[in-house]
Amino acid sequence: MVIRKLFKFEGAHIVRNCSSDRCKKSIHGHSYVVEVFLEAKTLDAGHMVYDFGLFKGTIKDVIDSFDHSYSMWKNEKSDYKDFIIKNSDRWVEMPVSPSAEGYSVMLLYIIDKILKNTVFNNGEDGDLTVSGVRVAETVTGWAEASKSDLYFMFGKNFDLEDIVFSEQVKAEWIDPEMWDKLIRGEKFINPTVKITH
């Protein structure tokens, strides 16, 4: 069974090396819609794939990191990156171009890591997985990444350490240390549920 959770953010970027001059030469923004698809073969004690309320923690914080932020590709010229870092509190440096495709595969990668580092306490069988992430930057255009895209598109070309969030972004998370914990492989503990019959 598959469930979908929708998120939104307002973000800015430049997509270097794309075909459109407007996109590759000018800062511009979009009203993004992010859809996260989770899949499981079994249901938890509440007969859910995953409680929608649990999305309000780490996964929401990661996606919200891009709201009113500037997303920049790690291969930007250093003087431009320095300018952004100096003049903007909220920014994210990405190991992939901040295209809809780049966002979708990177968010899928991050959410996959989060789920693999989460201790579930409501009867989940361990088969819960992120099956896809869809990112729409306009009402008419979106990209969707599935698990096979992680290897096909990027292989082992990036790790969590290659994604950098500004200090202001991290300060606004529920747990400002969340990213460092994820990199270290520390476990996130979901609430323990008292099962009633």
- 23 as an active site residue: the answer is yes
Burial of 165 (0-12, 13-18, 19+ CB in 10 A): buried
Give the contacts of 39 (CB within 8 A, at least 6 positions apart): 1, 2, 3, 49, 128, 129, 130, 131
Active site residue 68: yes
Catalytic pick from 93, 101, 124, 137?
A: 137
Q: Which of 35, 68, 76, 172 is catalytic?
A: 68
Active site residue 101: no
**Residue 52: how many CA atoms within 13 Å on its side-chain side?**
7
Nearest CA to 71 out of 5, 34, 16 is that of 16
Rounded to an integer, what is the distance from CA 197 to the centroid of its chain?
A: 36
| Alpha carbons 174 and 61: distance in angstroms, whole number | 7
23, 30, 35, 172: which is the annotated catalytic residue?
23
What positions carry a catalytic annotation? 23, 68, 137
